[in-house]
Amino acid sequence: MAGKATTTKQAGDAAEERALAHLLRHGLTLVERNYRVAAGPSARGGEVDLILRERDGTLVFVEVRARRDAAHGGAAASIGPAKLRRIVYAAQRYVARWASPPPCRFDVVAIDGAEVRWLRAAFDAG
């Protein structure tokens, strides 16, 4: 056999590793990976791929998306409204831990083939 095919999970984990390395090189600090929260028995919860902190204290919730190439809008275009709601839901539960939450931002790291794009403030909680 020439090579073992990767599973979707393996590909996703590899994309998260690439995204994390990119963000760490830009001075962010990892706080948590794959933060998950349940919404209830009949509702889907949410997940944030990476939670990092900027040097200024801003908490950054990062969605990582990867595609083999930029066809059909690329990785960034693959995030639909339902996915955004689940990310925001998880982030809101995460910051509910603090009496006075730090400034927060939602970023996307879009990986299209070899290209890694960091989209700061890609969407908001509203």
pTM, two decimals, is 0.87
According to CATH, what is the number of the domain 8-123?
Answer: 3.40.1350.10
As a whole number of angstroms, the distance between CA 126 and CA 124 comes to 6
Q: What sections of 38-122 are H helices per DSSP? A: 81-95
Q: How far apart, in whole angstroms, are the C-alpha atoms of residue 116 and residue 20?
A: 11
Is the pLDDT higher at 94 or at 2? 94
Residue 10 tokens, joined: 């393996």
Q: How many CB atoms lie within 10 A of CB 46?
A: 22
3-state secondary structure at position 114: coil
Decide if pLDDT at 1 tops 50: no
The residues near 60 (Cβ < 8 Å, ≥ 6 apart) are 23, 28, 50, 51, 52, 53, 54, 104, 105, 106, 107
Q: Which comes out higher in pLDDT, residue 57 or 5?
A: 57
Q: pLDDT at position 28, please?
A: 98
- In this predicted structure, the answer to whether residue 78 has a pLDDT above a threshold of 90 is no
Residue 64 pLDDT exceeds 90: yes
Range from 34-48, 67-81, 90-104 carrying the lowest mean pLDDT:
67-81
Mean pLDDT over 27-55 rounds to 90
Triad 23, 28, 34: Cα angle to 5° = 70
